[in-house]
Structures are given as structure tokens and as C-alpha cells.
């Protein structure tokens, strides 16, 4: 990991960029049967935090590679959207409701 950080950091510095360690995490993937390895990663005296799930490009990724958290987020969003469409259903035509649905 250190060699990867050194190479990445040299590329970042050559392009006038740097790591933001407040936003840098690592995600350790594992199966349901495997145990988590107590891994600690640090670079330039900064500790990089191990997380169990993260959102990347709208997809919630978990360390166990299950879809549970992502589905929970989708259910929450879709229930709000269904309520919004249901509440304006009587005020709009079916064509407008169809456009809202596909939007």
C-alpha cells in the first residue's frame, strides 16, 4: 500500500494536487464467511479510516458486497416520490403524470 501511495502522491504533487485525508477511506471487501482483517493504513502520519459501506456514483457499496443498504436507500427515495405523484394525481392529466414518472 505504501508504494501505491508514494506513486500516487508523486503524481498528485506533479499536477499540483494533494490527498484530502478527511475524505480518504478504504473499504475492505470480504465474504460472509470470512473475518475482517485488522488492517490499519497510514501515510505521512495520517491515519486512513476503514469503512464498511460507501456511496460511489449513486451506488451504495458494502464490504460484504450485499445490496441491502443500497436497496434500503432506493426504497426510501421511491416511497417519497410515489407519495408526491399520488398527492398531485387529482390535479394533473395522465400525460403530465406519465412525464413525471419518466423524469
Give the per-residue SS3 of 43-82.
Answer: ECCEEEEEECEEEECCEEEECCCCCHHHHHHHHHHHHHHH
pLDDT attached to residue 89: 83
Residues facing residue 62 across a β-bridge = 53
pTM over 0.75: no
Biggest CA–CA distance in the chain, Å, is: 62
Whether residue 55 is found in the same domain as residue 76: no
Asked if pLDDT for residue 37 goes beyond 90, the answer is no
Q: List b or e across 88-97, with b for residues whose CB sees 16 or more CB atoms inside 10 angstroms.
A: eeeeeeeeee
* H/E element, 27: strand 25-27
Whether residue 35 is found in the same domain as residue 71: no
Q: pLDDT above 70 covers what percent of the chain?
A: 100
Whether residue 6 is found in the same domain as residue 47: yes
Number of domains in the chain: 2
Whether residue 1 is found in the same domain as residue 47: yes
pLDDT attached to residue 17: 92
Q: Quote the domain boundaries for residue 83.
A: 67-103
Whether residue 48 is found in the same domain as residue 76: no
Dump pLDDT digits (tens) for 50-67.
Answer: 888 889 898 988 888 888
Amino acid at each position: 500500500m505504501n508504494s501505491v501511495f508514494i506513486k500516487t502522491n508523486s503524481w498528485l504533487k506533479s499536477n499540483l494536487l494533494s490527498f484530502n485525508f478527511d475524505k480518504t477511506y478504504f473499504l475492505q471487501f470480504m465474504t460472509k464467511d470470512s473475518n475482517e482483517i485488522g488492517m490499519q493504513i497510514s501515510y505521512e502520519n495520517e491515519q486512513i479510516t476503514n469503512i464498511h459501506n460507501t456511496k460511489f456514483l449513486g451506488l451504495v457499496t458494502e464490504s460484504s458486497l450485499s445490496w441491502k443498504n443500497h436497496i434500503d436507500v432506493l426504497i426510501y427515495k421511491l416511497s417519497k416520490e410515489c407519495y408526491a405523484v399520488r398527492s398531485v394525481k387529482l390535479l394533473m392529466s395522465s400525460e403530465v403524470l406519465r412525464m413525471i414518472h419518466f423524469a
